[in-house]
Amino acid sequence: MATLREIRDHMNSVSSIAKVTNAMQVVAAAQHQRLRGRAQGASAYAEHSWRILCHLADAAHDELFDDPVFHARATRQAVALVLVSSDRGLAGDYDQVIVQDAYQFMQQQEVPVHLYTIGSNGREAMGRLGVEAVADLRLSTNVQLAEIAPLARELLDGYREGLVDEVHIAYNQFLGGVRFSPTVRQLLPIQPEETTRRQYIYEPDPQSLLAELVPMVLRFQLFQAVLDALTAETAARMLAMRVATRNAQDLIERLRVNYNKARQQAITNEMLDIVGGSSAVQQVSDRS
């Protein structure tokens, strides 16, 4: 059985860990609140810009018939996949689930997959699985749209030049609360939704507007996915730290019970020693 000092040292160690995890939970909660507000704003903008793109694509349907950005190529030679993961740990299974889904998607493809990673954990995990990224993007903690622009431009140029025939993105979609879902969705070719036909006057013509809008929409779709993933990451870290703090507190309670038992046993042993010594002295006195 552990000594009183060993149990007390263990309690102090676990208590220190609980303070750290609780502080990390508070920090994650603050980051989550900020990112959730940004993600909600980005979602509204992305939805509206997508609706405009669908209207323009519908208006210029005949002219876009041969545009590969809006129509899948007859054959596929290569596919691009953007994997969004975290740069830090202590977020539960956040990285594990999206890496697993991304790897499964790659295994299902019959053509080569060009992997682009955002976040070191995804890149390293894929490396351990034998998949090397062709490019790795590092973002600041307060990510801005301009940081996504070079990757969006490279993906669109690669698609137009025929280097890849599809572009997909794998990320954890934030569902609210502390829930998220690993998601793999297609970015290119763009598949506009059917819209209610209305009479609009476009100036300039829809084709010219689409030429300007497509890069912007693709860039913002990437940006929205990254914000969604970061929001899900902070939610996962907040939950993980909350569970870790609660587990540490439970362990402290169990250690305290063991400490009290050991202390009581030590007192009992001391009393028995005193009683035994007293009896021995009494026996010696009786003999004399």
User: In terms of pLDDT, which residue wins out, 212 or 236?
Assistant: 236
Residue with tokens 């609706």: 51
Instruction: Using a pLDDT cut of 70, give the percent of the chain over it.
Output: 90
When pLDDT is averaged across residues 113-117 and rounded to a whole number, the result is: 96
Lowest mean pLDDT among 6-10, 113-117, 152-156: 6-10
Q: Looking at residues 257-285, what average pLDDT do you find?
A: 76
Tokens 């600041």, residue?
Answer: 140
Whether residue 230 is predicted with pLDDT greater than 80 in this model: the reply is yes
pLDDT at 269 over 90: no
Cβ-proximal residues to 224 (8 Å cutoff; 6+ apart), any chain: 39, 42, 43, 46
Distance separating alpha carbons of residues 111 and 264, to the nearest angstrom: 70
Residue 249 pLDDT exceeds 80: yes
Decide if pLDDT at 217 tops 80. yes
